[in-house]
Structures are given as C-alpha cells and as structure tokens.
Amino acid sequence: MADVSVRTATEADAQQLGRIQVDTWRLAYAQVLPEPVLSGLTPDLAAGQWASAITAPPSAQHHVLVALEQQWLVGFAASGPVVDVEPDDPPADTTSELALVLVEPRWGRRGHGSRLLAATVDHARADGMTRGVCWIPEQDEVTREFLVSAGWAPDGLARALDTGAGELRQIRLQTSFVDEG
C-alpha cells in the first residue's frame, strides 16, 4: 500500500504548487485556455501567489491543502468562503467555494484528488459551511466527471470570464455538506 496523505500547505510548498499548477494547466487546459494565458503563467508567478495564499489567507476559512505520496507533493486544493453569491443562493457565510483541485497527471488515478476533496469538505464543515460550489471551465470534462462522481452536480449557472486573450466559459457545480440521513 502506498504511503499517502493530505496536509495543510506550508510556505515551503509554494514553489511545488506553482510548478504543478503551470505544468498541469499547460497539459490539461491546452484546448481550454487561450495560449497567451497559458504562456503568461510561469511557475515563479504562480508560486508567489500560492505563497501569499498560504501565509496571508483572507480569512481563517481559506485553506490550501496538499496531497503527498511518500515524500512527493503530487497535488493540491484551495477553498474558502464563496465570493460571488447569486440571487437564489443560500447565505454566503454557509457556502464554501472550491477554487481549485489539481493532481499532477503522472500521479493521477491513485485517489489523491478524492482525498484532497474529502479533506477540503471536512475543513468546510468544521468552518460551519453547509454547501459547496465550484466554477470549472465548461470544456473540462475530467473535472466535471470527477466532481459529479463525488456527489456534486451542475446547478444550471454559467458565466463567461474575460481572460484578456479571449473568453472562458465556466459552469457551476454544487453539493450539500449536510448528511441526509
């Protein structure tokens, strides 16, 4: 059995997070994000942003978690209170937003994404959140299938983001953190 775990990210992890984000996005989102966006994202730039998210999060409900296999950092997830609330949404202080869950493709299919997602939900519940939302690129079938298999569902909302180099269409998925038993 593999030695696997999930823990809270530290500042020392920021360089690895930047590298994983850039490498994974360049591979997985080559047909989703405009090329200028991908080429403009560098590991150092991303690492700086992750270092800030780790050392100075906007609130105690913001979390960056990392997945490990033995000594290797293989993926990460970030979440925090929802920022944009839609008119029919529950109160913002009860909703956590999954900002990102990434596992390096070479470490995929080993349960790291599921462990990261479960740990993220555990943190959200501990923070008093009862619901989760996540915006993903409309074309990202892999992430959509992963989240749907974990109990998330598209809620019919979509948005278009201006990347500065083209439009990125996203859909929103949601789930309840309340046990229905």
Share above pLDDT 90 across residues of the chain, in percent, rounded to a whole number: 73
CB 86 within 8 A of CB 100: no
- Please, where are the H alpha helices in the chain? 14-28, 35-40, 43-55, 112-126, 141-149
**What are φ and ψ of residue 100, in 5° steps?**
-170, 140
CB 72 within 8 A of CB 31: no
Residue 180 has pLDDT above 70, yes or no: no
Residue 181 has pLDDT above 80, yes or no: no
- Say which residues have a Cβ less than 8 Å from residue 144's Cβ, sequence separation at least 6: 136, 154, 171, 173
pLDDT in tens, 79-105: 999 988 888 888 889 999 999 999 998
CB 180 within 8 A of CB 159: no
Position 88 scores a pLDDT of 86
pLDDT in tens, 10-48: 999 999 999 999 999 998 888 888 888 888 889 999 999
How far apart CA 50 and CA 115 sit, in angstroms, is: 20
Greater confidence (46 vs 178) lies with 46
Of 102, 181, 105, nearest in space to 143 by CA: 102
Mean of the pLDDT values across residues 62-66? 98
Residue 1 has pLDDT above 70, yes or no: no
Beta bridge partners of residue 161, listed in sequence order: 168
Domain boundaries, the chain: 4-176
**pLDDT averaged over every residue in the chain:** 93
Band of pLDDT at residue 9, cut at 50, 70 and 90: very high
Residue 2 has pLDDT above 70, yes or no: no
pLDDT in tens, 114-165: 999 999 999 999 999 999 999 999 999 999 999 999 999 999 999 998 888 8
CB 26 within 8 A of CB 42: no
Owner of token pair 């696997």? 4
pTM listed for this prediction: 0.93
* Cα 101 to Cα 28, 73, 89, 90, 164, distances in angstroms: 13, 13, 23, 23, 23
Please tell me the CATH superfamily of domain 4-176, with its number: Gcn5-related N-acetyltransferase (GNAT) (3.40.630.30)
3-state secondary structure of 151: coil
Provide the angle, in degrees to the nearest 10, between the axes of the packed helices 43-55 and 14-28. 130
3-state secondary structure of 63: strand
Residue 3 has pLDDT above 80, yes or no: yes
Position 148 scores a pLDDT of 97
